[in-house]
Amino acid sequence: MELTNNNSYGPDKFDSLAASRLTSLVNSMADGVIAVDKHIKVVLVNGAALNILDLNNLKEGDNLEDVFRPIDKYEHPVDIVHMIESTSIPTSNRDLRLIYSDGSTSNIYLSIAPVHLGYGSSGHGGYVLLLRDITTEKSLEEERDEFISVVSHELRTPITIAEGNISNAELLLHKSDDLNLIENALKDSHKQILYLSDMINDLATLSRAERGKLTLDIRSINVGEMIKDLAENYSAEARVKGLRLNIEVDPKLELLRSSELYVREILQNFITNSLKYTTKGDILIRVVQKSDGVEISVSDTGIGISKSDQEKIFQKFFRSDDTRARHTTGTGLGLYVTMKLAKLTKATINFTSELNKGSTFSVYFPNLNEQIPRPDAQMLNDA
């Protein structure tokens, strides 16, 4: 269609209409947009940019450097005017951060594109800045990098130990008649392989939980029998460490309607942690019948958890800086996965701990019905 000039659609009318459409387009964008002239004064800004900068208003002609003061990844202030003026071709940066008046921060993606009104440098008309809050993306990237680092380290250690012990056993088989040495080497190897198996199970459970793929198989559980079975499974490990593993089961205990797999896994995580961080004394598993469910607690006389660590123990990959805890193996996933499973089974976890005196972790499992909705990924991520 050919556009024609007439009384109702003159040049000014077209300019006004084009400007209005441009403004509407820019304001509809999810990313922040700021246009500045060659003196780095604001020409145009949309609502998304105001949100990112935490501003109520930004007027035409304002100096950008007065309201946009990013810092780099080394916490150094960035000269935004120099950064813009030194940009001759479209460029981007993902390593900038903003610090707000309340002390909070955000990670910012910044794209700068020079605007040319004509040919050559004489046609320079300013710059367009594209802003995006990438705090969540950065957090996921850091989490991914930490995941790779932790898992690669935790995998390397048991694999190296197992490989060395098996090699020694093979060597001893041909050069020595000492079966005890061969047996010990194989036992150590087996122990490391079991650790690898546990870690892979944790990672698989974590992966399913993060993607919301865990499902509930609700059935009637004899918790008393489950506790006796768990105590028997871990009694040998307790004896090796010189620990007493005791159980107390409420004689009025009723069947629990829940996921047997996840109830067992939660309790296993509590018991293995108690065994791991207790060097002398007792571990007590207590089961108490409640009005509409069961409460189970695992108490120990271990090293305990410091006040500063208590706020972090359910975080992914958290490992205490306590040197006594660092002597033990682990990925820092156990309690994180435990909290995911507790959320899934509608269970409630509480704990008390005192440094050098021990810890008590308790979990209340309510009876579940068959119609409990399958949780989505977001609900699990909120755990």
Q: How far apart are CA 84 and CA 86, in angstroms?
A: 5
User: Residues 337, 202: contact at Cβ < 8 Å?
Assistant: yes
| Nearest one of 267, 244, 256, 185 to 220, comparing CA atoms | 256
Tens digit of pLDDT for each residue in 54-71? 999 999 999 999 999 999
The pLDDT assigned to 301 comes to: 95
| Residue 96: partners with Cβ closer than 8 Å, 6 or more residues away | 70, 71, 72, 78, 107, 108, 109, 110
Q: Domain spanning 214-381: which superfamily?
A: Histidine kinase-like ATPase, C-terminal domain (3.30.565.10)
User: Residues 254, 222: contact at Cβ < 8 Å?
Assistant: no
Q: How far apart are CA 223 and CA 256, in angstroms?
A: 7
Domain boundaries of the chain, sorted by first residue:
11-133, 135-210, 214-381
pLDDT reading at 14 higher than 60: no
Tens digit of pLDDT for each residue in 97-120? 999 999 999 999 999 999 976 544
Q: How far apart are CA 218 and CA 257, in angstroms?
A: 6
Tens digit of pLDDT for each residue in 299-313? 999 999 988 888 888
Predicted TM-score of the model (pTM)? 0.55
Beta partners for 360? 299, 352
Considering only the top CATH level, what class is 135-210?
A: mainly alpha
pLDDT band at 211, cuts 50/70/90?
A: low
**271 compared with 375, residue with greater pLDDT:** 271
pLDDT band at 195, cuts 50/70/90?
A: confident
The pLDDT assigned to 19 comes to: 65
DSSP 6: -
Question: Rounded to 5 degrees, what are φ and ψ at 73?
Answer: -70, -15
Q: Domain spanning 11-133: which superfamily?
A: PAS domain (3.30.450.20)
The alpha carbon of residue 157 and the mean position of all alpha carbons in its chain are separated, in whole angstroms, by 23
User: Residues 143, 134: contact at Cβ < 8 Å?
Assistant: no
* Residue 226 exposed, middle or buried by CB count within 10 Å (0-12, 13-18, 19+): middle
Tens digit of pLDDT for each residue in 260-285? 989 998 999 899 899 989 999 999 99
- Please give the C-alpha separations between residue 163 and each of 5, 101, 148, 327, 328, in angstroms, as whole numbers: 85, 55, 22, 21, 20
The pLDDT assigned to 182 comes to: 86
